[in-house]
Amino acid sequence: MPFNLEIKIAVKSLNEVEKKLAALNAENSGVLIQTDIYYKTKNGLLKLRMENGENQLIHYFRNETVKDRWSDYSVLKINDYKADKFLAGLFKTEVTIKKSRNLYWYKNTRIHLDKVKGLGTFLELETKLINGKKEAKERFNFLVNYLQLDAKKQIRKSYRDLLLEREI
């Protein structure tokens, strides 16, 4: 399974981040309209991501208690446009997340500028593991420093967890 090193931070203004990314010549891949449906499962997190007319089933594991948030994940593309109805017959739905995501890339790091319905605005970095953890961490730390992110303010929860907490 692939690995990412991740951070999530609530931000007040995505405009400031976008200016910094433009100065860095980060590649803007455009806006993604996403609906993530999380399903109850015994191990890890399982979600169906419906994005701009395409579907992916994503299963991942992430330890939120350690310093570095490494995510171990697998992705299955689903061609059926009624995947949500099919999966609802197999799994109990926990929560649905709706968001608009402006996606940037910088040296194999996905930079997400998210507007999440009911939660607010967030910045996420996902640095892909390519040539070992040390090299990935160097690329990750460069962006954390460049964007002046305070790692002490990172959110160690998925949007799923944050929305479920709001519903309690």
Which domains does the chain show, CATH number per domain?
Answer: 3-167 (2.40.320.10)
Report the sign of the C-alpha dihedral through residues 141, 23, 9, 153, in that order. Answer: positive
Question: Token pair 């991501």 is at which residue?
Answer: 49
pLDDT above 80 (res 124):
yes
pLDDT at 1 over 70: no
Q: How confident is the model at residue 168 (pLDDT cuts 50, 70, 90)?
A: low
Torsions phi, psi for 162 (to 5 deg) = -65, -40
Q: What would the pLDDT profile of 147-166 be if each residue is shown by its tens digit?
A: 999 999 999 999 999 999 98
Q: Report the DSSP pairing between strands 3-10 and 120-128.
A: antiparallel
**Which class for 15: exposed (0-12), middle (13-18), buried (19 or more C-beta within 10 A)?**
exposed
CA distance 113 to 108: 16
Overall average pLDDT of the 58-71 stretch:
90
When pLDDT is averaged across residues 18-28 and rounded to a whole number, the result is 96
Task: Report the pLDDT averaged over residues 40-55.
Answer: 92
Exposure class string for 20-56: b at 16+ Cβ within 10 A, else e: ebeebebeeeeebebbbbbbeeeeebbbbbbeeeebb
Residues 84-113: what's their mean pLDDT?
95
Between 65 and 35, the higher pLDDT residue = 35
Backbone angles phi, psi at 15, to 5 degrees: -60, -40
Residue 2's Cβ-side half-sphere holds a number of Cα atoms within 13 Å equal to: 15
| pTM of the predicted protein model | 0.90
